[in-house]
Structure 1
Amino acid sequence: MRVIGLISGTSVDGIDGAIAEIHGQGYQLAVTVLGGGTVAYPPEVQGAILRACAGEALTLSALADLDDAVAQCFAQAAQALVDQYGPVDLVASHGQTVFHRPPDRGAEGARRNPRLGYSLQLGRGAAISDQLQCLTVSNFRAADIAVGGEGAPLVPPIDAVLLAHENRDRCVQNIGGIGNVAYLPPQDKLFATPSPQVFGWDTGPGNSLLDLAVQTLSGGTLTFDQGGQWAAQGTPDLSLVETWLRHPYFDQAPPKSTGRELFGWDFWQQCQAQMTTLAPADVLATLVDFTAASIAQEYRRWLPQLPAEVLLCGGGSRNFYLRERLAHYLPVIPITTTDDLGVPSGLKEAIAFAVLGFWRHQGFPGNLPTVTGAHGPVVLGEIHYPTPTAFPFGTGSSPML
């Protein structure tokens, strides 16, 4: 199948789209990436998303309008790929997360009668399917959450398929708005029964605090620190980093997930109040150190062992100062990017959702309970069928139903 994968992450910096040709069944896949790119949101849509993520109250009518606007943007991003690379059989859209609440696993009462998690992605798949007249899969997180999972991260099994090494273990570290890791043992242990040895969880902040700081310190003229150049001019306040590393999230054992609800606007405001005497570059350097140190601390606390190597992806992989500080906290371990293995680091999440859409079409479970904490494997995503009169983006006869 030719599949488009679409996602906008917690950085809300645009819609990443990838088009891939996928062959095979289950974990035995061959994935050829044909192309992809990032499409920026219109400023008014991006602003509305960020305000919603920050907890601004919305009427149901305003929420519906934003849902429609996000769907329109996602459909346009898919259309741009079709225009450039030709017809596809399936669109797999993660949508835009605006709220994520992990399940309550802590208290004794919660263990007896756990509160399910909840995760809301805007950009309804039915609207995308109708606009493109193409089979579309969306709402990937809900099925995992319904069986007690975190609904995140969902990418580790795809990382295992695409990036595992034959005889040594690796960590694939995504640094988007939030950081998340996939621990991949050697290939023969990946999906060993009865307990697969692939692990993964959200490590904490990625770029979310950095981007908020840049926007604040620049008076809104900048949205991120290109290459980490501004932060590299500063000196981190290591005492503050140590304080922040004592946040309760880091004491929680995986499976676990988080978002801007925890490491977003409110957390940035608390950090800012503690850094009033620091120069702007020092503020950014301190936040970079917090992200790097939190990743390394999570590895040492919760991995079965430190990996032989780390592969970075996401926007943070292009922040060279952040990479330098991560190398400081993980000395000796080689740190590269997924680009070095032929998987574009900026598109890897979009590629992953193309695979998840392919698995949904096959009826193959897309979650890993060892990662999400779900009670068992489930098929992820909801299928939306186009109107039956025309299939201009299909294979020429009918969608692959």
Structure 2
Amino acid sequence: MRVIGLMSGTSVDGIDAALIEIEGENLDIQVDLIAGATIPYPETIRSQILAVCAGEPLTMAALADLDDAIASCFATAALEIQSGHPPAELIGSHGQTIYHRPPNASLGYSWQIGRADLIAHITQTMTISNFRAADIACGGQGAPMVPRVDAALLSDTTESRCIQNIGGIGNVTYLPAAQGDWLGGIRGWDTGPGNSLIDLAVSKLTNGEKTYDQNGNWASQGIPCDQLVKNWLQHEYFHQVPPKSTGRELFGVAFLEKCFRDADEYHLEPADILASLTELTALSIIHDYQAFLTSMPDRVLLCGGGSKNLYLKSRLQAGLDPIPVVTTDDFGVSADFKEAIAFAVLAYWRYQNVPGNLPAVTGASREVILGEIHPPVFNRE
């Protein structure tokens, strides 16, 4: 089956689209990436998304317009990615998260917009969306969603691995060596900020002229302020025992403003601030491995936009040495499009009525089938 995965994460860089060919059942699947591309949002839409995620109020009419606009962008991405290839038979759309509330005294809540019925109508292709809801209904975090896919595509029979995605938010999947009852040993959670604070800081420091630190070049010219980073790491989220999940609601504009206020007394240069925020991402990941894994992994595989940040990668390698830090590219899965591939796989599993979550990861009470099906409404002749 040819399936398209569509994903836009907390970085709001644009829509990652992956066209894959997939066969097999459950974890025994083979996936080939036919095409992958990132289609940027129009700047007006990206600005609206970031504003909503930062808590800016929006009328219901404006929200409906944004929902439609995002769906149209996702549909366009789906049509573009299959251009020149045999058409896809199925689309898995994660949508755009605008609000995420982990479970506490009540069920969690997670809202992704970009209405799948409109995507199905525009593309004339069955579209599956709203993957998080069923897990949340069973008491889970609804995040991270990809560990079962990681188990299918990136496990190894002899070594344990951490698959570390670094998007706007970082999330990890710990895969023990695939022997015996290894599925029961898989763990995963959101480690905290990935690129979110770094990107927001770059935008703030350049008055919006730049949106990210390419290759980590700017941060690499600075010196992390160890005491400042140590203070930031006292935040309760970093000490919360998994399962746990987070988003821009916590590590967004308000958190960054506090970081800048905290930095005032140290009289740091812009490069030092970026180096310190990059260090926060690196050390929060390393801290979580050391605090919440029963044993450290044999290897760490990076993916997501942060895998291209060479300075961040070097800080992770320095802190995890001698554990090798590589990317999923080295093991046959595109680091750029792994998340989009994952939602294509989750859609395929939904089509086959195969569960997509791992309760040990999300905290859900049981395995459940993820996603809602939106068949296309075919035009009658």
TM-score, scaled relative to structure 1: 0.93
CA pair 36-162 structure 1, distance change in 2 beyond 3 A = same
Which runs of structure 2 are paired with 1:11-160 in the superposition (5 Å)?
Answer: 11-104=11-104, 110=105, 115-160=106-151
Work out whether residues 190 and 198 of structure 1, in 8 Å CA contact, stay in contact via their aligned partners in 2.
Answer: no
Percent of paired sites with the same residue: 56
- Computed over aligned residues only, the root mean square deviation of the Cα atoms, in angstroms, reads 1.1
Tell me if 1:172 matches 2:172.
Answer: no
| Post-superposition CA distance 1:359-387 (Å, at most 9, x none) | 00001110000010000000000000111
Between the aligned partners of 2:45 and 2:182, the Cα distance in structure 1 is 41
Query: Counterpart of 2:24 in 1: which secondary structure?
Result: strand
Work out whether residues 189 and 197 of structure 1, in 8 Å CA contact, stay in contact via their aligned partners in 2.
Answer: no
Which of the residues 240, 244, 250 maps onto 1:262? Answer: 250
Tell me if 1:219 matches 2:240.
Answer: no
Which runs of structure 2 are paired with 1:334-373 in the superposition (5 Å)?
Answer: 334-373=324-363
Between the aligned partners of 2:82 and 2:380, the Cα distance in structure 1 is 16
Between the aligned partners of 1:388 and 1:191, the Cα distance in structure 2 is 44
Tell me if 1:201 matches 2:189.
Answer: yes
Residue equivalent to 1:319: 309
Residue equivalent to 2:237: 249
Unaligned runs of 5+ in 2: none
Between the aligned partners of 2:352 and 2:182, the Cα distance in structure 1 is 19
Work out whether residues 357 and 381 of structure 1, in 8 Å CA contact, stay in contact via their aligned partners in 2.
Answer: yes
Residue equivalent to 2:223: 235
Letter in 1 for 2:45: V
CA pair 131-310 structure 1, distance change in 2 beyond 3 A = same
| Post-superposition CA distance 1:181-232 (Å, at most 9, x none) | 000011124654xxx1111000000000000000000111000000000000
Residue equivalent to 2:152: 161
Q: How far apart are residue 85 of structure 1 and its match?
A: 2.3
Letter in 2 for 1:186: A
Work out whether residues 176 and 182 of structure 2, in 8 Å CA contact, stay in contact via their aligned partners in 1.
Answer: no
Which of the residues 291, 294, 297 maps onto 1:304? Answer: 294
| Post-superposition CA distance 1:234-284 (Å, at most 9, x none) | 000000111111110111110000000011111000001111221100000
| Post-superposition CA distance 1:71-95 (Å, at most 9, x none) | 0000000000121323010010000
Between the aligned partners of 2:132 and 2:332, the Cα distance in structure 1 is 27
| Post-superposition CA distance 1:167-190 (Å, at most 9, x none) | 110000000000000000111246
Between the aligned partners of 2:181 and 2:93, the Cα distance in structure 1 is 26
Unaligned runs of 5+ in 1: 105-109, 392-401
Work out whether residues 160 and 190 of structure 1, in 8 Å CA contact, stay in contact via their aligned partners in 2.
Answer: no
